[in-house]
Amino acid sequence: MQRLVRGYLDHLSVERGASPHTVTAYRRDLGRYAGFLADRGITATEQITERDITDYAAWLATGDSVRPALTASSVARAVVAVRSLHRFVAEEGHTPNPAVGVSPPQQLKRLPKALPIEAVQRLLDAPDPSSVSGLRDAALLELLYGTGARISEVVDLDVDDLMPVLANPDAGLRLFGKGRKERLVPLGSYARAAVEAWLVRGRPGWAAGARSPTPALLLGVRGQRLSRQSAWKVLQQHADAAGIADQVSPHTLRHSYATHLLDGGADVRVVQELLGHASVTTTQLYTLVTVEHLREVFVAAHPRAR
């Protein structure tokens, strides 16, 4: 069982080009699954039945005295990992697929949380442009909101990735999303100005203090590539300074980017391409946000809405 899991993780990484974060999540989920089966005395895939998989999902959802119950979304992710493993094993000709009839649990459809435009403006204005860290933070925040990129896509950017779009604003910024899927997104004047200020007045000083040269665009104080965790902390710091009471994450700015585009009249298919969604169904969640916003305005403003 462990050998097949390792083979599947190699397949994810090498053949399907999954990101290290995805592979790590699958390794954790499948390791937990293998442990559950081992406790049942199951060590080979030909011993596994559909009932074992449904029992595993129920075990995750209910928890026990030493392990808390998982949310529906976490259980669904774990079941998807198990289904993917068994599909891979079946395609490799090892055993039939016992997970064919198993579906992930249904999840409540949660609408993305977007910030009002005025709150986003306060957030973008929060970094101090007179400090090196403020220049870096401004570039980070403007890139997140100005492109709708995932946090991993922004911190993975190198200086050379920005040069084409800084030289020619019509060129677009090249981003690599899930599965290394490439897309080009426009970079507005505010984001370009923030990046240029960081490259000219901020980055050289921190880069000079690094132990070894790095091509990374966004750096930490010691000259190393900015991590996702550090970027998250930067965002939290400036959200607090901007007086934003709601929980703010890098994905909040991605949600805000999409919602504000749709509010401004952008076509959902265009937003799909800008976000790098494989399916327009995912993007259509943002149209629900916009409709909900319209309903709230109607109820508050129309004399016969209630």
Q: Which residues are catalytic?
A: 150, 178, 251, 254, 277, 286
44-47 CB contacts, 8 Å cutoff, 24+ apart: 44/1, 45/1, 45/4, 45/86, 45/89, 45/94, 45/95, 45/98, 46/94, 46/95
Query: CA-CA distances (angstroms) from residue 264 to 261, 279, 296?
Result: 5, 22, 17
CB 86 within 8 A of CB 7: no
CB 161 within 8 A of CB 217: yes
CB 259 within 8 A of CB 112: yes
User: How far is it, in rounded angstroms, from Cα 260 to Cα 286?
Assistant: 9
